[in-house]
Chains A and B, each alone.
Chain A
Amino acid sequence: EAGVAQSPRYKIIEKRQSVAFWCNPISGHATLYWYQQILGQGPKLLIQFQNNGVVDDSQLPKDRFSAERLKGVDSTLKIQPAKLEDSAVYLCASSPRVGEAFFGQGTRLTVV
């Protein structure tokens, strides 16, 4: 079975620029998550979708971050404008049932 696909793998941008990350979950998985992982810390949940509806976005900095999941499949996460502290790995995961999530390899973002 194909895993969760994320692109790009790496991205370097200057502060105040915008960036977008793409995620293709495992087919049939209704739940999709975006996490931010800063070096040395555990992943932090940014947003959780159930099909194309948002279940939880309480930790998403909505002044600069946005996410959408069109047609309940692929998802994009956007940052505009980026700050230095946004440097992190952005992980996408999908889940067929509560608790069993499958993660992609992540996108490593460096903001300079």
Chain B
Amino acid sequence: DAKTTQPNSMESNEEEPVHLPCNHSTISGTDYIHWYRQLPSQGPEYVIHGLTSNVNNRMASLAIAEDRKSSTLILHRATLRDAAVYYCILLGGGSNYKLTFGKGTLLTVNP
């Protein structure tokens, strides 16, 4: 299965942008890049996904490198409610279409 590598933890200040990186050097051509986040004591929630082009939605933006070996989840203005564990997941033929979570990045947002 294609794997992802994320930093264990990151810190940000409230109202500042946050860039959460993810490396996936063994991504296959049919794998989509998905991001989920898990707030304290909650189940994970879908954030965004993309294949090749950058994507935007109301929660975040996803920037995908041209070679697709890395991606960055961008929170444009972090709030205290964005403090969570963020998971980068590859989903597609290379991952057998299984939604497999790693350890993720614990984001701390300072007031």
Give chain A's interface residues, CB within 8 Å of chain B.
4, 33, 35, 41-45, 48, 56, 91, 93, 95, 98-106
Flag the segment in B10-18, B67-75, B96-104 that touches A: B96-104
Interface size class of B (residues with CB under 8 A): 20 to 34
Q: Give A48 to B36 CA distance when docked, in angstroms.
A: 18
Q: Which residue of A lies closest to B101 (CB)?
A: A42
Interface on chain B toward A: helix, strand, loop, or mixed SS? loop
Please tell me if the beta carbons of B91 and A98 are within 8 angstroms of each other in the complex.
yes
State the Cβ distance, A4 to closest chain B Cβ, in Å: 8
Please tell me if the beta carbons of B99 and A33 are within 8 angstroms of each other in the complex.
yes
Give chain B's interface residues, CB within 8 Å of chain A.
32, 34, 36, 41-46, 49, 85, 87, 91, 96-104
Please tell me if the beta carbons of A103 and B43 are within 8 angstroms of each other in the complex.
yes
Please name all residues of chain A whose beta carbon is closer than 8 Å to the beta carbon of B41 when the two chains form the complex: 105
Interface on chain A toward B: helix, strand, loop, or mixed SS? strand
Please name all residues of chain B whose beta carbon is closer than 8 Å to the beta carbon of A41 when the two chains form the complex: 103
Asked whether A104 and B99 contact (CB < 8 A) given A99-B32, A99-B49, A99-B91, the answer is: no
State the Cβ distance, B94 to closest chain A Cβ, in Å: 13
